[in-house]
Amino acid sequence: MKKKKIFFLKIVVAFIVLILIASICSFWYVNKTFISFEDGYDNRTDILELTIDGYTFLDRNNNNKLDIYEDDREVIADRVLDVLSQMTLQEKIHLLKGTGMASTIGMTKPDGIPGAVGAIVPTPRLGIPTVHLSDGPAGLRIEPSRENDNKTYYCTAFPIATLLASSWNEALVYEVGNAMGKEAKAYGIDVILGPAANIHRHPLCGRNFEYFSEDPLLSGFMGASIVNGIQSNGIGTSVKHFVANNQETNRVLNDVIVSDRAMHEIYLKGFEHIVKRSQPWTIMSSYNKINGVYTSESEWLLTDILRNKWGFKGLVMTDWYGGRSPTSQISAGNDLLEPGTNRQWKALTKAANNGELSMDAIDKSVKRILGLVFKTKKMQNYRFNNSPDLKKHATITRNSAAEGMVLLKNEKSLPFTNKKNIALLGITSYEFIAGGTGSGDVNEAYTISLEEGFLNAGFRINKTAKQIVESHRKVNPNGFIRPQGLDAIFTPFSPPEISYSTDQINDIVATSDVGVLTLGRNSGEGGDRLEKDDFLLTKTEQEMIVKFSEAFHKRNKKIIVVLNIGGVIETASWKHLPDAILLAWQGGQEGGNSVVDILSGKITPSGKLPMTFPVNLSDHDSHKNFPKNPKMITIEGLVKNLIFPPSETPKAEKVKDEDYTFYDEDVFVGYRHFDTKDVAVSFPFGFGLSYTDFDYSPMKLEIENDTINILLHIKNIGAFPGKEVVQFYTEKLNSTINRPSQELKSFTKTKLLKSGENDEISVKIPIKELSYWNETINDWSIEEGEYTIKVGGSSRDIRQAIRVSL
């Protein structure tokens, strides 16, 4: 018996020892492969200044001479060539991949930036510094606190990209970009990983909030404005995810099966506008494949189209761990592998040594990377102060958020005419959502809830409604714990909704002047949304709307619904119930103040929809080919996939909408489908109400060489000051090809017009923008004949149309 026990004990001890050894080995492997493998390549901080012939410079390679690359007076191209000529092959290859994950998980070197998710490696022998990359589209995402440091490093949570696009205001979006760039500069970040410019192909893509629109022109113009704003500070951008990354389900393996025409007219077009209008420092290739080829390994995309056709001058980096073959990536023109692994380093070294990776490809990519490094503040030895003007940026985010909120309905209820007792209903009124989750999140210092917004503006908050929320919190303590740290990345915070009893409803209505009911939605990277209980309202939400609307109306009082959401939801079945609906989107950290600025009439709403709100999801032509059973990525799953990259599913076992997705709707995305097929929608593309009305003067049109010049006047004929978004669509009459019935070709927003004031609108549409992608000749073609040029307040509110012959 004793022997048996000892034997058993020995087995247990051996097992524990084995597990310990396996754990140590795994940790060592993970650390040396993904986290920290940069031994000997530390950023140099000891570079000395030298003065020769009255010129002071940093003697980066310590040779007591002024090299061309050390001379700030020389042009960057020459400096790059000089340093390239001094680099060893090993140093060049080293530069092609990032430094690993250490700083993402807070394990930074002393001069690192915790939370900055990537870096361009330094070349210490030549004194080339580390360059820091950080998310993302709604503001910087760095760790707000640091070990042994009392200072905080909060960043401003600006409105989500969808809201910015809803402003249709390029100058305003530039200003937001400018503020983001200033924050990056203050925190030592050199490149912001954004904006994200994928098309809203289907309402349920989990990352739509990071993206602008279902329309490539609006998407491209907004993207370019933000890039120009950020880059005006000498801070780079990485426009992502290039391209056709329109679902999160199986995003690293998904193969997009799409026509060349849809690629050019819809998915590439927005990026083309951005490249041509703003020349971003970098582009981030996406995870997915296109017609069988990973975007990061596609020479057609990254070299033929992006560089040769569009004239892109910057570098291309991968999405994090995107693609499979480092050699194919560099050869295709994907210059930088982020965040970088030791595996990639070894694979590139091997490929360079055996000739699989050409010296020419290596040099091209290294030159592009160095070109960026030389433009950064790091190379100019700029001393960042970690003190951005967060106060000023709070005002910028507040105003920009208000300008992108869309008034969907208003039956003589808004703005509020006096300071009322407001019944705030629904949990989201008290737990306002600033933005989505994942890499598009921001670590902001605070988020102004709707409750705080009303209080700040001097309104009274109904106590009965508030007490119900307090008790609800007490009985559901776990539902209100916000996910923290890594967990927060893939877990949207969604506290349980309140189920109001009839007595509670009656009490609230009796003691308040007006009801404001907020519906919230939160989603993000790593998962698509569901139809049930997400696109469609939950049963509790439906009941809230029905019962509160009935109760308020019985007492002749109004009820307003506020939508604090990141993506489209169903509205057709219930929109007749409340008196007003404000689509507040996710308005950043000042969201509650921005909503109250609109409800109180301080700001007249002027946002318009950058996508269609359909009646049913299935009305979208893309719905037949979009994942219906999405699964959310987990951190464990992510780590597993990193260590053991999932292998390709055998052809016969591939699952539709997961392993591959057919883009059968072709160019008929969003309103291009709804308007062509005349499908009823809940709210059309470009729609949004104001507190005032606008008159459109007769449009004057003139064709000059290759441009259509349009001129008209917009007059504010209502009682409130306001701005109008003016949209220009074109239609080819009697087209011989299957074209959308109309497409947005230009837009503008008036200045703030006082009652009775006029604004002159003048836009130019290049005729070549009316062409379609002709697959027979593999190029753009312009159809000759009759077109109509339309102007309107939405895709379904066309005020005038003029025929032209081209």
**Cβ closer to ligand BGC: 262 or 633?**
633
**Cβ closer to ligand BGC: 117 or 584?**
117
The DSSP secondary-structure symbol of 616 reads: S
Minimum distance between the CB of residue 404 and ligand BGC, rounded to whole angstroms?
A: 21
Sign for the pseudo-dihedral over CA of 177, 178, 183, 186: positive
**Cβ closer to ligand BGC: 193 or 306?**
193
Minimum distance between the CB of residue 535 and ligand BGC, rounded to whole angstroms?
A: 23
Q: Which residues of 552-608 form beta strands (DSSP E)?
A: 558-564, 580-583
Q: Which two tokens stand for residue 700?
A: 């004057």
Q: Which two tokens stand for residue 63?
A: 């040779």
Planar angle of CA 594, 463, 599, nearest 5 degrees: 25
Q: Binders of ligand BGC among 284-343, rule CB under 6 A? A: 319-320
DSSP secondary structure string, 223-239?
A: HHHHHHHHHTTT-EEEE
Q: Binders of ligand BGC among 129-188, rule CB under 6 A? A: 135-136
Q: Under DSSP, is residue 97 helix (H, G, I), strand (E, B) or coil? A: strand
Sign for the pseudo-dihedral over CA of 568, 574, 575, 579: negative
Q: Binders of ligand BGC among 761-790, rule CB under 6 A? A: none
Minimum distance between the CB of residue 255 and ligand BGC, rounded to whole angstroms?
A: 17
Q: Binders of ligand BGC among 364-383, rule CB under 6 A? A: none
Minimum distance between the CB of residue 142 and ligand BGC, rounded to whole angstroms?
A: 11
Q: Between the CA of residue 642 and those of 33, 89, 252, 284, 397, what are the distances in Å?
A: 10, 27, 11, 19, 37
Binding of ligand BGC by 273 (CB under 6 A):
no
Planar angle of CA 642, 644, 650, nearest 5 degrees: 115
Q: Residue 788 forms beta bridges with which residues?
A: 731, 803
Amino acid at 177: G
Minimum distance between the CB of residue 658 and ligand BGC, rounded to whole angstroms?
A: 18
Minimum distance between the CB of residue 1 and ligand BGC, rounded to whole angstroms?
A: 57
- Report cis status (omega within 30 of 0) of the bond before 393: no
Which residue of 439, 625, 682, 730 would you call a contact of ligand BGC, by CB under 6 A?
Answer: 439
Give CA torsion, residues 222, 227, 228, 234, to 10 deg: 170
Closest CA to 221 of 263, 272, 175: 272
Residues shown for the chain: 806
Minimum distance between the CB of residue 206 and ligand BGC, rounded to whole angstroms?
A: 11
Amino acid at 741: S
In the sheet where 743-749 sits, what is the strand order?
Answer: 743-749, 725-732, 786-794, 797-805
Catalytic annotation present for 487: no
**Cβ closer to ligand BGC: 118 or 688?**
118
Minimum distance between the CB of residue 322 and ligand BGC, rounded to whole angstroms?
A: 8
Q: Binders of ligand BGC among 93-122, rule CB under 6 A? A: 117
Minimum distance between the CB of residue 135 and ligand BGC, rounded to whole angstroms?
A: 5
Cα–Cα dist 141/437, whole Å: 11
Minimum distance between the CB of residue 319 and ligand BGC, rounded to whole angstroms?
A: 5
**Cβ closer to ligand BGC: 525 or 665?**
525
Cα–Cα dist 603/722, whole Å: 8
Q: Are 421 and 460 in contact (CB under 8 A)?
A: yes
Write out the H or E segment, with its range, that includes residue 115.
none
The DSSP secondary-structure symbol of 295 reads: G
Q: Are 134 and 117 in contact (CB under 8 A)?
A: yes
**Cβ closer to ligand BGC: 439 or 586?**
439
Contact string (CB under 6 A) for ligand BGC, positions 509-548, x = contact: ----------------x-----------------------
Contact string (CB under 6 A) for ligand BGC, positions 401-420, x = contact: --------------------
**Cβ closer to ligand BGC: 207 or 620?**
207
**Cβ closer to ligand BGC: 322 or 578?**
322
Alpha helices in 61-187, H assignment, sequence order: 76-86, 89-95, 161-167, 170-186
**Cβ closer to ligand BGC: 439 or 564?**
439
Count of residues engaged in binding ligand BGC, rule: CB under 6 A? 9
**Cβ closer to ligand BGC: 239 or 514?**
239
Q: Which two tokens stand for residue 510?
A: 């009796």
Which residues fall within 8 angstroms of residue 39, CB to CB, at 6 or more apart?
A: none
Minimum distance between the CB of residue 192 and ligand BGC, rounded to whole angstroms?
A: 10
Minimum distance between the CB of residue 286 and ligand BGC, rounded to whole angstroms?
A: 8
Q: Which residues of 639-721 form beta strands (DSSP E)?
A: 660-662, 681-683, 694-696, 700-704, 707-716
Q: Binders of ligand BGC among 747-766, rule CB under 6 A? A: none
Which residue's beta carbon is nearest to the bound ligand BGC?
A: 439
Q: Under DSSP, is residue 420 helix (H, G, I), strand (E, B) or coil? A: coil
228: number of Cβ within 10 Å:
21
Minimum distance between the CB of residue 633 and ligand BGC, rounded to whole angstroms?
A: 9
Q: Binders of ligand BGC among 228-257, rule CB under 6 A? A: 240
Q: Under DSSP, is residue 156 helix (H, G, I), strand (E, B) or coil? A: coil
CB-count burial class (<10 Å; 0-12, 13-18, 19+) for 145: middle
**Cβ closer to ligand BGC: 33 or 238?**
238
CB-count burial class (<10 Å; 0-12, 13-18, 19+) for 734: exposed
Cα–Cα dist 342/35, whole Å: 9
Q: Binders of ligand BGC among 192-211, rule CB under 6 A? A: 193
Task: Tell me which of 190, 319, 513, 657 is the catalytic residue.
Answer: 319
Q: Are 238 and 192 in contact (CB under 8 A)?
A: yes
**Cβ closer to ligand BGC: 524 or 740?**
524
**Cβ closer to ligand BGC: 170 or 525?**
525
Q: Residue 792 forms beta bridges with which residues?
A: 727, 798
Cα–Cα dist 580/661, whole Å: 38
Q: How far is CA 637 from the centre of its chain?
A: 23
Sign for the pseudo-dihedral over CA of 434, 437, 438, 440: negative
Contacts with ligand BGC by CB under 6 A lie at 117, 135-136, 193, 240, 319-320, 439, 525
Q: Which active-site residues does the annotation give?
A: 319
